[in-house]
């Protein structure tokens, strides 16, 4: 495994601008080497062009002293007003809670609902669940417990009433009625306690203070589940009445008491979630905020690793736009790549072609770890998974956070993902997927001496259409799966102004994502209603907490990818890739430029992506979903295996034969159409496509027809509507 890792901020930077790198070693202080390179091609293995990089001389190149940097994973809320919690004698803690991991296995541990407990000081108090999952109260050396474990995913009202003068605590856990039958009864106990709360401390909801190490707060005993309407009262007088239904799109925790003891969330717990009183009558949290008064905390949430900047450089003013990486290496371990992007100069000269890096998709897949967990992975990919150092690193360091394809420790889906942490699988080596495969496209552009700029999804989301103005053609990567409304609208407007779009992949423009303003560097996505999903969003939680947008497939929101690029996701399979066969429409005079010099009927029966140009994930033409009726399907794939299955949204009722051996619906369509704005769209409909460009020294039918399209799309002559 790597001995040194890191991340960059910002992700996209222009020449002449600074960029910071947060670097840490994994097994104690050690020296490491750093070098900045431009990535041209990834290490595609046998038959591929091989790893290609171009060194960029910088001030940070060379050897450096490295030290470990800690990550405090796990979400919670903190109220930093210790003076309000230090003189309590008779008080009550209460909340509605829905635990989701009870008891914690295989290592049972405590979970704090709220309190001031500080493990390093051995002082404070906490309402919590003990190691068995029963409600407990801690003050002093040992907690007192009801002895009755709570049931996972059931709502309870819990309370602890403390009288320090009398030396007693009364605990109550009351199950709330729901639609499932239950034999649980309310539990209430009163018992003696002999302790004082100790010095005043900050008030935590969903965790407890562990220590302050290296100048940073560390927490422990994180709660897994939902907490709704937590409160603290002294006798009948409220000290804090925290309303989680307020300020949902932010990290603010609002106190409704006269004391205004407002707090903040840490590590972006999930908000806009159903509360204890949600009755199913409203699905949009903005329309019934009183039913969405909960926050879902997880012990493995992570927003910002918070590492100290260790290397800082200014991008040279003459650096060309491209995909770059800080290559880190320490003795005894493989190299680690910290990828970043150099955009064209702000207000300066541009190339005529732009590669749109799918940074939203890269981020949604970042630190993907499900391959190492029990499940049907072998059946899904049609082969035994191959484990590499990426998988091992994530297993040994779960604090690095997960991808949106993973689930939290309580089984709920990961809907937040951040770039402010080390990311181990966005790199030019390892598994041929996403950025790694996209580099095949950049390598092909370089081989044909086609000048290009690199812009990113993050740039497009923030800047919109002005970012695209001036480019004759925009090329996507192989898998632009996750897009925001701002990205969709910018691309549509670009085409409306006569732009040309080359969609060089498959399964694109599929899921809706949003960029929370309160959490820069983070993406939110919710797998609502339909689609081929790694997990299913909880009912009633389909709307994004950051923006209020309805989550899920763009197809279910009237903007299927077909409306933008002429094709949409229909099937996937991961055992082998196939080829395309030309159609009669490829002889249409409108498509003559595409096949200039291409005589073959079979296209792309080769490539580094599983042996063909049509594979992994496939998109097809469908006018019913918005594919322009005048578009030309110039080629379609065939001969897929039974590992290729139609995706969920393509099947209303499951049936035999919905696989690549028998179903004509399992195919990738290569599509061209003229846009009414004077521009045009070319779509490949396959993730594997770009893996065929370099075959036979870039001299093959896929390379030739793609170059034909690029040259025509660079030609300023407008396209006429048929």
**What's the average model confidence in pLDDT over 404-420?**
96
- The 10s digit of each residue's pLDDT in 576-607 is 999 999 999 999 999 999 999 999 999 999 99
Which tokens belong to 641? 């295996």
What percent of the chain has pLDDT above 90? 85
Report the predicted TM-score, pTM, of the whole model to 2 decimal places.
Answer: 0.96
Determine the Cα angle at 676 with ends 674 and 677, to 5°.
Answer: 105
Following DSSP, what letter does each residue of 71-97 receive, concatenated? -----EEEE--GGGGSS-SEEEEEEEE
Q: Which of 77-81, 102-106, 296-300, 497-501 comes out lowest in average pLDDT? A: 102-106
Residue 150 has pLDDT above 80, yes or no: yes
CA of residue 184 relative to chain centroid, distance: 38
Nearest to 108 by CA among 130, 125, 128: 130
Rounded Cα–Cα distance for residues 621 and 566 (Å): 6
User: What is d(CA 132, CA 421) in angstroms, rounded to the nearest whole number?
Assistant: 33
pLDDT at residue 430 in the model: 85
- For the domain made up of 76-297, the CATH class stated in words is mainly beta
Q: What span, in angstroms and rounded, lies between the C-alpha atoms of 240 and 257?
A: 5
Domain borders along the chain are 4-71+305-350, 76-297, 359-365+434-714
C-alpha distances in angstroms, 389 versus 393, 420, 435?
6, 21, 18
| CATH code of domain 359-365+434-714 | 3.40.50
- Alpha helical stretches, state H, 96-167: none
Q: Which of 132-146, 177-191, 207-221 has the weakest average pLDDT?
A: 177-191
Q: Cα 509–511–512 angle (5° rounding)?
A: 100
Residues 238-260: pLDDT tens digits? 999 999 999 999 999 999 999 99
CATH superfamily to which 4-71+305-350 belongs: Macroglobulin (MG2) domain (2.60.40.1930)
130-148 pLDDT, tens digit each: 999 999 999 987 899 999 9
78 phi and psi, to 5 degrees?
A: -130, 135
């Amino acid at each position: 495994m790597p001995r040194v890792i890191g991340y960059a901020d910002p992700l996209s930077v222009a020449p002449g601008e600074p960029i910071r790198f947060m670097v840490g070693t994994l097994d104690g202080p050690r020296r490491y080497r750093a070098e900045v390179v431009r990535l041209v091609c990834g290490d595609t293995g046998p038959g591929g062009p091989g790893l290609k990089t171009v060194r960029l001389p910088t001030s940070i190149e060379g050897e450096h002293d490295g030290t470990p940097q800690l990550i405090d994973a796990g979400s919670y809320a903190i109220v930093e007003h210790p003076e309000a919690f230090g003189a309590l004698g008779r008080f009550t803690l209460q909340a509605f809670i829905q635990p989701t991991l009870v008891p914690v296995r295989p290592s049972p541990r405590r979970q704090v609902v709220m309190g001031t407990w500080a493990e390093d000081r051995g002082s404070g108090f906490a309402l919590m669940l003990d190691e068995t999952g029963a409600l407990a109260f801690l003050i002093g050396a040992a907690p007192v417990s009801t002895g009755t474990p709570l049931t996972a995913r059931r709502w309870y009202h819990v309370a602890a009433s403390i009288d320090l003068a009398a030396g007693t605590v009364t605990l109550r856990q009351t199950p709330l009625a729901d639609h499932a039958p239950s034999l649980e009864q309310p539990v209430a106990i009163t018992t003696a306690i002999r302790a004082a709360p100790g010095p005043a401390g900050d008030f935590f909801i969903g965790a407890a203070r562990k220590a302050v190490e290296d100048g940073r707060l560390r927490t422990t005993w994180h709660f897994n589940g939902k907490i709704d309407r937590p409160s603290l009262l002294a006798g009948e007088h409220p000290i804090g009445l925290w309303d989680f239904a307020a300020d949902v799109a932010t990290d603010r925790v609002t106190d409704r008491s006269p004391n205004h003891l407002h707090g903040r969330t840490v590590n972006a717990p999930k908000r806009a979630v159903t509360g204890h009183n949600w009755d199913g009558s409203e699905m949009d949290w903005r329309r019934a905020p009183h039913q969405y008064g909960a926050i879902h905390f997880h012990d493995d949430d992570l927003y910002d690793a918070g590492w100290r900047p260790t290397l800082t450089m200014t991008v040279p003013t003459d650096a060309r736009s491209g995909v770059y990486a800080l290559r880190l290496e320490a003795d005894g371990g493989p190299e680690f790549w910290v990828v970043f992007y150099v955009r064209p100069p702000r207000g300066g000269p541009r190339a005529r072609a732009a590669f749109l890096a799918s940074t939203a998709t890269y981020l949604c897949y970042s630190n993907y770890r499900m391959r190492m967990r029990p499940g049907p992975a072998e059946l899904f990919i049609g082969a035994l998974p191959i484990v590499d150092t990426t998988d091992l690193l994530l297993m040994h360091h779960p604090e690095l956070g997960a991808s949106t394809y993973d689930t939290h420790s309580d089984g709920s889906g990961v809907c937040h993902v951040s770039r402010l942490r080390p990311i181990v699988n966005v790199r030019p080596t390892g598994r041929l997927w996403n950025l790694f495969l996209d580099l095949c496209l950049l390598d092909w552009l370089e081989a044909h001496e086609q000048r290009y700029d690199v812009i990113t999804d993050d740039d497009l989301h923030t800047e919109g259409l002005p970012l695209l103005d001036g480019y004759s053609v925009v090329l996507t990567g192989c898998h632009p799966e996750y897009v925001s409304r701002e990205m969709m609208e910018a691309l549509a407007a670009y085409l409306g102004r006569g732009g040309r779009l080359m969609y060089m992949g498959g399964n694109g423009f599929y899921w809706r994502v949003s960029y929370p303003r309160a959490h820069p560097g983070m993406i939110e996505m919710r797998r609502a209603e339909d689609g081929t999903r790694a997990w299913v969003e909880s009912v009633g939680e389909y709307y994004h907490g950051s923006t209020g947008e309805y989550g899920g497939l763009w197809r279910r929101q009237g903007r299927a990818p077909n409306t933008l690029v002429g094709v949409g996701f229909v099937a996937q399979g991961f055992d082998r890739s196939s080829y395309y066969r030309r159609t009669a429409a490829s002889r249409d005079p409108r498509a003559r430029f595409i096949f200039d010099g291409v005589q073959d009927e079979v296209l792309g029966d080769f490539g580094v992506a599983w042996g063909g140009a049509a594979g992994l994930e496939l998109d097809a033409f469908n006018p019913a979903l918005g594919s322009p009726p005048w578009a030309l399907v110039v080629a379609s794939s065939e001969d897929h295996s039974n590992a290729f299955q139609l995706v969920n949204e393509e099947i209303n009722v499951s049936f035999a034969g919905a696989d690549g051996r028998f179903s004509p619906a399992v195919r990738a369509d290569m599509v061209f159409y003229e846009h009414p704005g004077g521009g045009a769209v070319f779509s490949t409909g396959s993730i594997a496509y770009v893996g065929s460009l370099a075959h036979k020294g870039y001299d093959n039918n896929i390379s030739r027809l793609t170059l034909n399209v690029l040259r025509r799309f660079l030609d300023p002559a407008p396209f006429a509507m048929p």
